[in-house]
Structure 1
Amino acid sequence: MRTRATLAALLGTAAMTLSGPLIAQEAPLSYPATETVDTVEEQFGVKVADPYRWLENDVRVDPKVAAWVESQNKVTDAYLETLPGRAALATRMRALYDYARTGVPEVAGNRYFFTRNAGLQNQAVLYVKDGANGAERVLIDPNGWAKDGATALDAWVPSEDGSKLIYSIQDGGSDWRTVKILDVATGKPLDDEVKWVKFSALEWDKAGKGFYYSRFPEPDKEGEFQSLNTNQEIRYHAIGTPQSADPLIYATPQEPQLNHSAQVSDDGSFLLVTSSSGTDERYRLTMIDLDGTKASTSQRVIVPELVNDWQMIGMAGDRIYFVTNKDAPRLRIVSMARNGNEASIETVVPEGEAVIAGASVVGGKLVANYLQDARNVVKLFDLAGKPMGELPLPGIGSVGGFEGDLDSKETFFAYSSFNRPTTIYRYDLTSGQVSPWAEPKLAFNPDDYAVEQRFYASKDGTKVPMFIVRKKTVTGPAPTLLYGYGGFNISVLPGFSPTRLAWLEQGGVYAQASLRGGGEYGKAWHDAGRLANKQNVFDDFIAAGEYLIKQGVTGKDQLAIEGRSNGGLLVGAVVNQRPDLFSAAHAAVGVMDMLRFDRFTAGRYWVDDYGYPNKEADFRTLLTYSPYHTIRKADYPAVMVSTADTDDRVVPGHSFKYTARLQATQAGDKPHLIRIETRAGHGSGKPTDKIIEEFSDIYAFLAHFTGLKIAGE
């Protein structure tokens, strides 16, 4: 856990009392001195200074960077200790987290596998039941794997008969995974261990004798968390053999930039390899015939070009079903003969007004999950594409699940919304009945909160949807937290968060804008917010803030913003562009140096959305909004940057460099701090204790600068 420092030696003069929604005056913080280097590189006739280049070094390897991190955390911790309401927020968040959270079950053989967190466990536990009415028992409990709770159970896949289970382990938040196998009857792991797995599906063969996985070459120690991910391979692991004996199934050494993922067909007759070069849904499909556990040496490419999205969703007879955006920007469902190819596809469910977010072939039906104005609608079809109605949902929210086979009699799905935690439902595929399977018991009343969706105009007139959530008793301008992402075709949907609810309980408002660059309206919406169009995302977010103020949802000095990852880039960019609009900002695990993002770990994939820094047109666009390079002398809002030392997705050097430059610039007297977590990564696998500690810190900071009064201060 992060250590707490005392205040006296670091802050100098004590903070003055509140006056109105904001602090009347605070003594400027004394930040640690950060060494600068004379690094200037000329690109396309532009000289670009990078005085904090040394902060890109791995904090676990470079003692100088480690010392800088320690000094920054001391200042941040000392400041956080002065904030009223922080302890009260942590107490309330802990209470709101204390309810059973169950995952969508998966049925294999006669067994039901599912995860559950009893409430305050750091990691969810995997359970199994023998039969629908059998007694549940613990299969894997990761809570004893590490003293700090930061080693997590990641993916888990039962064999078709439910007798064995592949599972992957995530340590300290890293993207690297270690894969093991469990005997379900005894609950004991086998001796098998597979390492250097990342961005991988785990696929059993039909006989349950082994599995297919994707891995990268083993990196050297210094490059473990920073080196570029290239030359991914698909291999097969047979139970009881060492990883060194795993045969190579598929690789493209002539195209080292390609990633490869394996999927075994429903009938077990072939392996579908999906290859991609970046974050775009542009895939090449290669079919490899299987004879039991043996892969054929002959390979047949059925989709050769990296142009369109292709998702295999199941089989019926000799027909393979896909969701694709080929000639359908909002996607359609098609089928292909077992011996067919891209040219022979037939439309089953045509493109509609709403975007298909996912689909499955289950129980003799097609279940299609649509995105309609950034919320889910589930439609049913027969296998010929004939409509069979909609699945009733409890309200405005998001759903996921619907796994199963062609002959399944039941399937399960999860539903959640801003004011309703995840509930698991069982859908009877024969009768059509939907019934709750796992309902949480809550420490609050969901009906106390209003969820509405509005549409506002961006700078160029584009209508952008935004959800607004608040207690029904909150009227008039109130402290507001605005969240956004806007990138990589990712849709930001309604969902429940105990930490966010703690903000709402205090009388705060939460707003979530569905910015361009996301996937809410299909390919055109994504394209309108990337590459040369990236400024549209920032304009959308700025317009959202202006709308909230103009409509009286929040006041001029009551607006905070937050974003994570690509959303951290969003926050950094808009704070530089409109520092006058916001009172406080939280930029989490953000991409902050847009001229060097492609040099580390997964960064090379992001060129699909951001462009290539070594191409002149892209370089000039990136330089216009790169948060690290566009910090300026102005009266900035209070800024909290957060990252983690084991983030090997967006390496923490982005946040380190941005913070150092912000602190060194005459950017106003409000604090500009960084919170650096240890034994944590980009977000997944983070233990409950760390989540509560982090968000009580962050939300106390945002509340302080928006005037949100925390009960119990």
Structure 2
Amino acid sequence: MEGDTDGHFKYPVARRDDSVEYEYFGTKIKDPYRWLEDPDSDETKQFVLAQNEISLPYINSCSAKARIQERLTEMWDYPKYSTPGRAGPRYYHFMNTGVQNQSALYLQNSLNGPSQVFFDPNTLSPDGSSSYSLLHLILYVKVDSVIDSLYGPNLFSGTISLNTYNFSEDGEIFAYALSEAGSDWASIRFKKVSTGEEYPEVLKRVKFSGIEWTHDNVGVFYSKYPETDSKADGTETVSMDSNKVFYHRVGTEQSEDILVAEFPDEPKWLLGFNLSDCGRYLFITPVKECKENLLFFFDLNSLGPEGIVGKVPLTPIVTKFEADYSYVANTGSKVLFRTNKNAPIYQIIEVDLEHPEESNWRSFIPEHESDVLDSAATVNKDKLVLCYMRDVCSVLQLHDLNTGAKLQDFPLDVGQVLSLSARRKYDEMFFKFDSFLEPGTIYRVDFNSPAPWKADLYWKADVKGFNKDDFVAKQVFFTSKDGTRVPMFIVHRKDFVQDGTAPAILYGYGGFNVSLQPSFSLTFLSFIQSFHGVFAEANARGGGEYGEKWHNEGRLLKKQNCYDDFQVAAEYLINEKYTQAKKLTIEGYSNGGFTVGACLNQRPDLFGAGIAGVGVLDLMRFHKFTVGYLWTSDYGNPEENEDQFRNLLKLSPLHCIPSADSLPGNTEQYPALLLLTADHDDRVVPLHSLKFIAELQHVHGHNPKQTNPLIIRVETKAGHGGGKPTKKRIEEIADSLAFIMNALKLEYRGDEN
């Protein structure tokens, strides 16, 4: 740690350019660190190096860091399986032997037969270990030969990950997309299953795309962005335009791909697509933000003998952005969609494509009186599998696909159905159940057995050194500022003493209709074991835990409700003596990073520390970078709507940092803060975190009472989080726990019984 003997940090002096400003609705906004928006400038690179030269020594100075990482690695080292799926005559599943950087895809010729590695992303990256301690030395070195000569060619391992995949209808060709260094950009390739032969073509400029096979096994639909002069490696910040759907015939060059659908008058639309189970209908589902989509279709049976030769005429079903629609199944021209149209907690409707007008729609599975319809799938020709949420926990049901009638429930403990593998043409399904104290159990349902059908145990995880009977997980409800009843989960050791002396983490998200259900996490478990602490997860408004109303109550002009919920959650933990303010850490990622920043600014008296990972922190300019414009559905558009601008100006973490002499709650200093970001995060670009830490250090770095660290950790060869190698994940968790231990002056207790 670089600091004085009295504990004060010597923060880098970042250049402020107070002449940079912009104006929204007559209000001028200073932007003195605008230069940090350029990731390629020498000045930005030097700023990052200087920040890491403070943060890394501080984190590494933790006396128990090595032991925390060692214990975490030991616990992580257990086999992890995904739900099996079928493609043609074969079964597939992902498996990680323990601490492999990426899970490998395994093939089985029969369910009970031996498995063999079919596709292993670990072989695509050099097999070595990345050294985080060298991060500040190599963050922006661009010449690979220089890196190799200094540190060897294996510095970064497992940074190529499987982004998405799909097998042809006959199961004989494997289409897969790879991402590098955590970027959202991907490239699609093809592999012959029987021989392992790779096809020569590579489809590039792909981002946020699925892969859908035509049922003749000849080609796939996918979406891509046009070639531009800007780079596409995950370090760019330019906004994305002109997403289009193409058709690719396997074995041909990408230059021969056929443009199928585009909306040139709406360059910001992101085009979703999928094929019906029967392969006849192509559905196009444009979105312009992170909620609500349009719906069009094309009948592939209307094609001539030459097949797809150009753009297809799309028949509209939904032409206004007012609800969400997702395909479930169809029988002939009658199609089932899951939607929140006139149903805030979702229903399933039937649309006849021969008469697609809304006046002809009918409700097939009506909206439940209280449970949120979370997902729907088909299996065994005529059965519909519905997964509901009831007070944030999963409920799994089986219905008749022809009538909608409920056939049975599948009993579940308190937790969530993490994944479901089912297809209409197969007579079995698999699902994986997860909870705070259940590290993953896979069940199989065989529909050849007599009804009622039973979910039989297929596989159960076994975590070394973990006994769920040593812990307690419970759900509580607290009353928020406006009287709303909000759920929260709390996990601690069984021998926990509720006297207010334990450290705690309050975790959450609160946005974009995302639901935080009970889920096993070695992160919170390691915290509990290392410090005999408490983990709490608040289901704040803005999420999807109670449907669209819950979401709407925490977005746009009601976004403050989300932060009120978190602050009252913190007060609950303190008042009920689970912890005390100086030992409470608030933690969140992405949109949750916005939550952390807003809560620390508004109520620094409630928290001893905060961890904000890849957070959205500049709410005046977020919409100008990569896909940030999609987030205006939750945040609003500060440049186009004055009410939304005024609201965001009161919330934006970058613009609402309280001065040292006016901290709320009569606190003397800002809580300890660790920002986490990554150089290849092309979703929430690093400039959010860089500008925020520069401003925060400027405002509080010279406060003589500010001994709490205000630091940032910038990861290399990593992105927003998807596909992050296991080694990097373990290092990041260990660093975060080391930060908490140092900042809150905790005692390491991980070796106690």
TM-score range, shorter chain: over 0.9
8 A contact 1:449–1:472 mirrored in 2:
yes
Give how far 1:12 is off. Answer: 4.0
8 A contact 1:40–1:47 mirrored in 2:
yes
1:54 is paired with a residue whose SS is helix
Give how far 1:170 is off. Answer: 0.8
Does residue 140 of the first structure (1) align with residue 112 of the second (2)? Answer: no
Does residue 357 of the first structure (1) align with residue 368 of the second (2)? Answer: no
Alignment partner, residue 458 of structure 1: 480
Q: How does 1:362-377 map to 2 (within 5 A)?
A: 362-363=379-380, 364-377=382-395
Write out per-residue CA displacement over residues 487-543 of structure 1, whole angstroms, 9 at most, x where no aligned residue.
Answer: 111111111112221112231111000000000111111110000000000100000
8 A contact 2:84–2:421 mirrored in 1:
no
Alignment partner, residue 509 of structure 2: 485
1:181 is paired with a residue whose SS is strand
Give how far 1:700 is off. Answer: 1.6
CA distance in 2, matches of 1:475, 1:107: 48
1:468 corresponds to which letter in structure 2? I
Write out per-residue CA displacement over residues 291-327 of structure 1, whole angstroms, 9 at most, x where no aligned residue.
Answer: 4853783321122222111111112344311111111
Give how far 1:285 is off. Answer: 2.9
Write out per-residue CA displacement over residues 160-206 of structure 1, whole angstroms, 9 at most, x where no aligned residue.
Answer: 21111111101001000011011111223211210111111110110
Give how far 1:435 is off. Answer: 1.5
Write out per-residue CA displacement over residues 72-120 of structure 1, whole angstroms, 9 at most, x where no aligned residue.
Answer: 1111011112222211110111011101111122211111111111111
2:112 is paired with a residue whose SS is coil
Alignment partner, residue 120 of structure 1: 99
Give how far 1:707 is off. Answer: 4.8
1:536 is paired with a residue whose SS is helix
| Range with bigger deviation, 433-442 or 627-636 | 433-442
Q: Which of 255, 275, 279 pairs up with 2:290?
A: 279
Does residue 709 of the first structure (1) align with residue 709 of the second (2)? Answer: no
8 A contact 1:479–1:703 mirrored in 2:
no
Alignment partner, residue 65 of structure 1: 44
CA distance in 2, matches of 1:222, 1:550: 51
1:183 corresponds to which letter in structure 2? K
1:199 corresponds to which letter in structure 2? F
Q: 1:219 to 1:470 in 2, by over 3 A?
A: farther
CA distance in 2, matches of 1:106, 1:218: 35
Give how far 1:338 is off. Answer: 3.9
Does residue 396 of the first structure (1) align with residue 402 of the second (2)? Answer: no
Q: How does 1:607-618 map to 2 (within 5 A)?
A: 607-614=632-639, 615-618=641-644
Alignment partner, residue 305 of structure 1: 320
Write out per-residue CA displacement over residues 4-25 of structure 1, whole angstroms, 9 at most, x where no aligned residue.
Answer: xxx5xx3342xxxxxxxxxxxx
CA distance in 2, matches of 1:102, 1:689: 18
Q: 1:144 to 1:407 in 2, by over 3 A?
A: closer
Alignment partner, residue 598 of structure 1: 623
Give how far 1:472 is off. Answer: 0.7
Give how far 1:263 is off. Answer: 0.7
Q: Which of 252, 258, 278 pairs up with 1:247?
A: 258
Does residue 499 of the first structure (1) align with residue 523 of the second (2)? Answer: yes
Write out per-residue CA displacement over residues 439-495 of structure 1, whole angstroms, 9 at most, x where no aligned residue.
Answer: 222211122111100000111111100000111111213111000111111111111
Write out per-residue CA displacement over residues 608-635 of structure 1, whole angstroms, 9 at most, x where no aligned residue.
Answer: 1111111211111110010000111232
1:557 is paired with a residue whose SS is helix
Q: Which of 343, 346, 362 pairs up with 2:362?
A: 346
Q: Which of 463, 466, 471 pairs up with 1:442?
A: 463
Q: Which of 14, 24, 44 pairs up with 2:25?
A: 44
8 A contact 2:657–2:696 mirrored in 1:
yes
Give how far 1:154 is off. Answer: 1.8
Does residue 385 of the first structure (1) align with residue 392 of the second (2)? Answer: no
Alignment partner, residue 694 of structure 2: 660
8 A contact 2:437–2:520 mirrored in 1:
yes
2:92 is paired with a residue whose SS is strand
Does residue 11 of the first structure (1) align with residue 37 of the second (2)? Answer: no
Q: Which of 350, 373, 394 pairs up with 1:335?
A: 350
1:76 is paired with a residue whose SS is helix
8 A contact 1:315–1:361 mirrored in 2:
no
Does residue 694 of the first structure (1) align with residue 732 of the second (2)? Answer: yes
1:549 is paired with a residue whose SS is helix
TM-score (norm 1): 0.94
Q: 1:262 to 1:43 in 2, by over 3 A?
A: closer
Which structure 1 segments of 5+ residues have no match?
1-6, 14-25
Q: How does 1:428-577 map to 2 (within 5 A)?
A: 428-431=446-449, 432-443=453-464, 444-476=466-498, 477=500, 478-506=502-530, 507-577=532-602
Q: Which of 664, 685, 689 pairs up with 2:723?
A: 685
1:244 is paired with a residue whose SS is helix
1:696 corresponds to which letter in structure 2? A
Alignment partner, residue 143 of structure 2: none
2:497 corresponds to which letter in structure 1? T
8 A contact 1:274–1:284 mirrored in 2:
yes
CA distance in 2, matches of 1:652, 1:256: 25
8 A contact 1:203–1:211 mirrored in 2:
yes
8 A contact 2:77–2:99 mirrored in 1:
yes
CA distance in 1, matches of 2:188, 2:314: 27
8 A contact 2:410–2:454 mirrored in 1:
no
1:440 corresponds to which letter in structure 2? A
8 A contact 2:563–2:595 mirrored in 1:
yes
CA distance in 2, matches of 1:132, 1:223: 41
CA distance in 2, matches of 1:89, 1:319: 56
CA distance in 2, matches of 1:622, 1:252: 31
1:285 corresponds to which letter in structure 2? F
2:733 corresponds to which letter in structure 1? F
8 A contact 1:88–1:710 mirrored in 2:
no
CA distance in 1, matches of 2:191, 2:747: 50
8 A contact 1:285–1:302 mirrored in 2:
yes
CA distance in 1, matches of 2:448, 2:372: 27
2:527 corresponds to which letter in structure 1? W
1:512 is paired with a residue whose SS is strand
CA distance in 2, matches of 1:381, 1:703: 50
Give how far 1:27 is off. Answer: 1.1
1:297 is paired with a residue whose SS is coil
8 A contact 1:284–1:305 mirrored in 2:
no
Alignment partner, residue 294 of structure 1: 308
1:628 is paired with a residue whose SS is helix
Give how far 1:585 is off. Answer: 0.4
8 A contact 2:508–2:540 mirrored in 1:
yes
8 A contact 1:324–1:331 mirrored in 2:
yes
CA distance in 2, matches of 1:464, 1:164: 48
Alignment partner, residue 445 of structure 2: 427
Alignment partner, residue 242 of structure 2: 231
Give how far 1:692 is off. Answer: 0.8
1:131 corresponds to which letter in structure 2? S
Percent of residue pairs bearing the same amino acid type = 40
CA distance in 2, matches of 1:590, 1:517: 16
Q: How does 1:43-122 map to 2 (within 5 A)?
A: 43-58=24-39, 61-122=40-101
Does residue 642 of the first structure (1) align with residue 679 of the second (2)? Answer: no
Q: How many residues align?
A: 690
8 A contact 1:85–1:711 mirrored in 2:
no
Alignment partner, residue 23 of structure 1: none
1:422 corresponds to which letter in structure 2? G
Give how far 1:658 is off. Answer: 0.2
2:568 is paired with a residue whose SS is helix
8 A contact 1:595–1:613 mirrored in 2:
yes
Which structure 2 segments of 5+ residues have no match?
127-155, 664-668
